[in-house]
Copies of this chain bind each other. A is one copy, B any other.
Amino acid sequence: MFFLTPVLVAVVCILIVWIFKAADRSPEKKKGELQAWPWVDEDLKDSTDLHQAEEDADEWQEAEEHVEHVLFSHTRYPEKEMVKRSQDFYELLSKRRSVRFISDERVPMEVIDNVIKTAGTAPSGAHTEPWTFVVVKDPDMKHRIRGIIEEEEKINYMKRMGPRWVTDLKRLRTNWIKEYLDSAPVLILIFKQVHGFAANGKKKIHYYNEISVSIACGILLAALQNAGLVTVTTTPLNCGPRLRMLLGRPLREKLLMLLPVGYPSKEATVPDLRRKTLDQIMVTV
């Protein structure tokens, strides 16, 4: 009897170990699950390579220290003209809508060049310009992009998104069939570069690259609207790695957005949404 007691105690203790470990894991696992935002592409979150590389300081290039500073030349308008210009620009952009029905009519490529040049004027963390705009015109390539996106989107709708998201999108009549990926004459895929390379081949840190590229996209949307072209801002979920490989982009580039660009089709409809009023979005102190 006494001889068995230690064995019994040992068994109890092993059980305690198990219980502790299980208790330890469950919040961790739960945390992991909670952090998995279903609508954020796994590929976008993959910046681990950058962290690893940062460890090895020699691989990273420091910016050149000598940049001349010059007088800033500014175009100033009379007050009345400023008000008029700001009003006109608001009216132009307020007519922008996300259009999901795009005709197959070709668009002037000079305009596409200009709107991308315009996007490239965006500010970026420490002037790193961490963007790549891939313009796809080739019908076969567009169709292969559509194949990948529809395949993944169907899984997103069926499994990854959850019923709330599907309901939130229902009123916009959004689903996994993306006809515009074939019909739009141009697809612009916008990649953020999680790091860059200096002239000597060393890696260059791209500070705030996602915010910078999103700002560039905002300017791109303004430029498209100004030119009379339509698009819809899409973030193809979980398609990043496959589309990156299809387009032969390097690992350091992550797909952030895809814009199908063209003219609206004749029967194009949009949800009759209202925008928030100025006092709902602005606070003055």
Contact = CB atoms under 8 A, between A and B. Distances in A.
A268 interface: yes
B221 A126 contact: no
A6 B219 CA distance: 73
Given A211-B210, A214-B218, A172 B127 contact: yes
Interface in A59-80: 60, 62-77, 79
A1 B55 CA distance: 50
Contacts of A263: 74, 76
Contacts of A205: 164-165, 168
Interface stretch (A90-98, A146-154, A176-184): A90-98
Nearest to A136: B285
A78 B185 CA distance: 17
A89 interface: yes
- How many copies are assembled? 2
A114 B88 CA distance: 9
A255 interface: no
A136 B283 CA distance: 8
A201 interface: no
A143 B54 CA distance: 36
A228 B86 CA distance: 9
A212 B15 CA distance: 50
A67 to B, nearest CB: 4
A101 B141 CA distance: 47
B215 A284 contact: no
Contacts of A273: 67, 127
Nearest to A265: B72
Contact of A132 (B12, B113, B281): B281
Contacts of A85: 226-228
A60 B223 CA distance: 36
A252 to B, nearest CB: 14
Given A171-B65, A172-B67, A264-B74, A275 B215 contact: no
A51 interface: yes
